[in-house]
Amino acid sequence: MPSGRESEKPKVVEHLYAENEAGNIPDGIVTSNHISTAIDATGAALSKSNPANFLKDIIRNDNANANWPDSLKVKRITARQRYGARRVFQFVPYQEGQTEPFPDRLFPGLRTQVHPVQAASISFVARRLGRTEETWLTQIAVNLRLIETQLSIFSPLRERVRDVAHLQMGMKTQPEIDAVFLASYGEDKTLQSPTSLYMLISCEAKQIAQRILEDQIREQVAKAMSITTAIETPKIDAVKPIAIKVVEYDFGGIMEKAIYVVEFAHITREVFDSEWASSRDDEEKLYAMPLECVSDTVYRIMPRIGGLNS
């Protein structure tokens, strides 16, 4: 059951859905103004200072389904985040076969690889000063070359990869991309071609007890396609989404926090533009874009790092 401030949100969501059913929220797209008005109308003890994070604060945690109104679960109604023009989220029906409002399919399973990684290359003092923010998690991933390791050892592209370069952390787009990399790869595994293909890698970072949000990743792919579309030298042929998350993992009877890396199949620009790019005629195309997990690995970090596993 939701507690504290989160216990106030279901009644606000129910009020907003009633307004949607009454025709007062076009296309079910809830704006910041709608949320502020609903908080006033319900008398909810919630701040109106940052309504843009209203749904994000519900769905990013492992208890997302418990914080969603039972009345909407019965009606098989969920929501997805929307971005720009003061939009916050949109009410949408469950997909076929969906049994809960916010399903989570991305977590370590029987086929997940386990790989130990040294952390001695991060200074002892830095390891002691570690924190729990996503920026520190991405800093660890960059310093320990986890993305490069994933693509070089576990990825279906491992025999085609030529090089991987970290470009930026905290790209301030909507949605924000926690880290961005550029990878070059050959047309085939012989690597004999004198030319390379290039892909941008978008990396989403989540702390423990936070969920990897697939619609957020789809939005990041769309944004990455948009910001690289005019680049001709070199041409960015594809976008590969990757997610990293802190998890509790059982290493032979010893529970430790580790970093879970999920690699999704890359999406070529040609396929994205023809099949998944949203348009004025169909803004929903993007959300049907499949995210295929092609490799996933739990990285055991040793020695321990503050903010992660100590």
Tokens of 130: 């570690």
So what's the pLDDT on residue 1? 44
Long-range contacts of 166-170 (CB under 8 A, 24+ apart): 166/142, 169/135, 169/138, 169/139, 169/142, 170/135, 170/138
Q: pLDDT by residue (tens digit) across 13-61?
A: 999 999 999 999 999 999 999 999 999 999 999 999 889 889 988 998 8
**Residues 106/293, Cβ–Cβ less than 8 Å:** yes
Last residue of a domain, one of 60, 93, 126: 93
Q: Decide if pLDDT at 3 tops 60.
A: no
**Quick one: 16 and 134 in the same domain?**
no
Burial call 166-192: b when 16+ CB within 10 Å, e when fewer: beebebebebebbbbbbbbbbeeeeee
The answer to whether residue 48 is domain-embedded is yes
Last residue of a domain, one of 93, 121, 155: 93
Q: Which domain holds residue 119?
A: 113-302
Angle between helix 32-42 and 9-21 (nearest 10)? 110
Q: pLDDT by residue (tens digit) across 266-296?
A: 999 999 999 999 766 677 788 889 999 999 9
The answer to whether residue 102 is domain-embedded is no
So what's the pLDDT on residue 128? 95
The answer to whether residue 53 is domain-embedded is yes
Note the helical H segments in 170-291. Answer: 214-228, 269-271
Q: Decide if pLDDT at 140 tops 50.
A: yes
pLDDT-derived band at 236 (thresholds 50, 70, 90) equals very high
Q: pLDDT by residue (tens digit) across 148-175?
A: 999 999 999 999 999 999 999 999 998 8
pLDDT-derived band at 82 (thresholds 50, 70, 90) equals confident
Q: What is the arithmetic mean of pLDDT over 80-94?
A: 90
